[in-house]
């Protein structure tokens, strides 16, 4: 039932190409910074997470999770902060380990299926006894983490968590990784590999002898990167094992709060397995909306303060 077939997003006339929709926001969108108040919390393994709050004195909170190599200052995060603040919600933008401007303490950092840090954040927020309703919004990798967390928790999820929105989600990591290896995505892949390499170099300085960066320039794909670094650093046998165990798609049937998944059909990062139509059709909780256009975290609107995805997320959460 919750497959939403009649999405009303239409790309601007000048941005009909999926790559233009993907790239335009990061290069050309003008958006003011958020008035963040930062808190640092300690994780159970002795590391830390930096949380950026933007508060309106509300009892309703939206937790925002960024994408791969993002952070709380990314434009797509700020757009969500501003639209929800304007509607009277508090927000907190979670920076994954090593993404807040300072390397984290431990050898491992973050990955597409790491949900214990989100659980620690939720536990901290609930302990404040300040919020009667908490909602989650995740982008790309952060969307997969959001959905995986809710699927893992199922009916045991904290009752304060009421709904979630996940945008441009590679819910099948193998499919998404294969799509990004295609020639038309070479610019994105090169950038990801470059940025992740910088993070690894910092780790190598922190932990001499623990990370082998010899021939790193030969790494060309997520499969190579995950086989060589992500999997061994986080306790997985290899890239395939990591992708299988960390994809949110198999856990979607276990979600027990309303969630909206927005994946554009022209998203250059997503393979066909990232569109879980059959799961959504058989679920009371997973709503799937697949606009024909939107690119990856695109959904640009000209002449308006907010993008379509931001208005859609707000409308869904308000409805819930």
Report the alpha-carbon distance of residue 145 to residue 66 in Å, rounded: 10
| Catalytic residue from among 54, 93, 100, 140 | 140
Residue 3's pLDDT is 82
Strand (E) positions, 55-132? 60-65, 90-95
Instruction: For residue 277, give the CATH number of its domain.
Output: 3.40.50.1820
**Do 65 and 95 touch, CB atoms closer than 8 A?**
no
| Catalytic residue from among 50, 54, 296, 309 | 296
Residue 4's pLDDT is 79
> Does one domain contain both 30 and 106?
yes
Instruction: Say if pTM beats, i.e. exceeds, 0.85.
Output: yes
How do strand 259-262 and strand 3-4 relate by DSSP bridges? unpaired
Tens of pLDDT along 251-308? 999 999 999 999 999 999 999 999 999 999 999 999 999 999 999 999 999 999 999 9
Residue 21's pLDDT is 97
Both tokens of 258, joined, read: 């309303």
CB atoms under 10 Å from CB of 93, counted, come to 28
Of 192, 223, 246, the domain-final residue: 246
How do strand 37-42 and strand 48-54 relate by DSSP bridges? antiparallel
| Domain that includes residue 205, residue range | 174-246
Of 214, 246, 278, the domain-final residue: 246
> Does one domain contain both 207 and 71?
no
Neighbour-count burial of 23, counting CB atoms closer than 10 A to its CB (0-12 exposed, 13-18 middle, 19+ buried): middle
Residue 228's pLDDT is 97
**Mean pLDDT, rounded, for 155-181:** 98
Number of independent structural domains in the chain: 2
Active site residue 296: yes
Residue 38's pLDDT is 98
> Does one domain contain both 252 and 241?
no
**Mean pLDDT, rounded, for 38-55:** 98
**Mean pLDDT, rounded, for 66-75:** 98
**Mean pLDDT, rounded, for 173-193:** 96
Res 79 pLDDT > 60: yes
Tens of pLDDT along 9-26? 999 999 999 999 999 999
Tens of pLDDT along 185-237? 999 999 999 999 999 999 999 999 999 999 999 999 999 999 999 999 999 99
| Catalytic residue from among 90, 267, 283, 309 | 267
**Do 169 and 197 touch, CB atoms closer than 8 A?**
no
Residue 39's pLDDT is 98
> Does one domain contain both 9 and 125?
yes
**Do 257 and 163 touch, CB atoms closer than 8 A?**
yes
């Amino acid at each position: 039932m919750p497959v939403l077939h009649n999405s009303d997003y239409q790309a601007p006339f000048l941005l009909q190409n999926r790559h233009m929709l993907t790239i335009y926001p990061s290069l050309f969108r003008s958006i003011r910074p958020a008035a963040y108040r930062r808190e640092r919390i300690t994780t159970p393994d002795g590391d830390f997470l930096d949380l950026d709050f933007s508060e309106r004195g509300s009892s309703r909170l939206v937790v925002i999770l960024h994408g791969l190599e993002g952070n709380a200052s990314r434009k797509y995060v700020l757009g969500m902060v501003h639209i929800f603040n304007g509607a009277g919600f508090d927000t907190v933008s979670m920076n994954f380990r090593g993404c807040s401007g300072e390397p984290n303490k431990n050898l491992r950092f973050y990955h597409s299926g790491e949900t214990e840090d989100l659980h620690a954040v939720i536990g901290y927020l609930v302990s404040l006894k300040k919020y009667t309703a908490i909602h989650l919004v995740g982008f790309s990798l952060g969307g997969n983490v959001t959905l995986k967390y809710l699927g893992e928790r199922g009916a045991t999820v904290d009752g304060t968590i009421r709904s979630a929105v996940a945008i441009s989600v590679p819910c099948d990591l193998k499919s998404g990784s294969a799509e990004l290896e295609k020639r038309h995505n070479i610019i994105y892949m090169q950038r990801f590999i470059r940025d992740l390499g910088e993070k690894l170099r910092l780790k190598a300085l922190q932990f001499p002898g623990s990370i082998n960066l010899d021939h790193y320039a030969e790494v060309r794909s997520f499969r190579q990167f995950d086989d060589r670094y992500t999997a061994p650093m986080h306790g997985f046998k290899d890239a395939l094992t990591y992708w299988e165990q960390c994809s949110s798609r198999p856990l979607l049937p276990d979600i027990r709060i309303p969630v909206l998944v927005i994946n554009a059909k022209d998203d250059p990062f997503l393979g066909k397995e990232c569109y879980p139509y059959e799961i959504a059709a058989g679920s009371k909780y997973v709503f799937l909306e697949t606009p024909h256009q939107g690119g990856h975290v695109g959904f640009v609107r000209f002449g308006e303060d907010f993008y379509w995805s931001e208005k859609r997320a707000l409308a869904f959460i308000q409805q819930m």
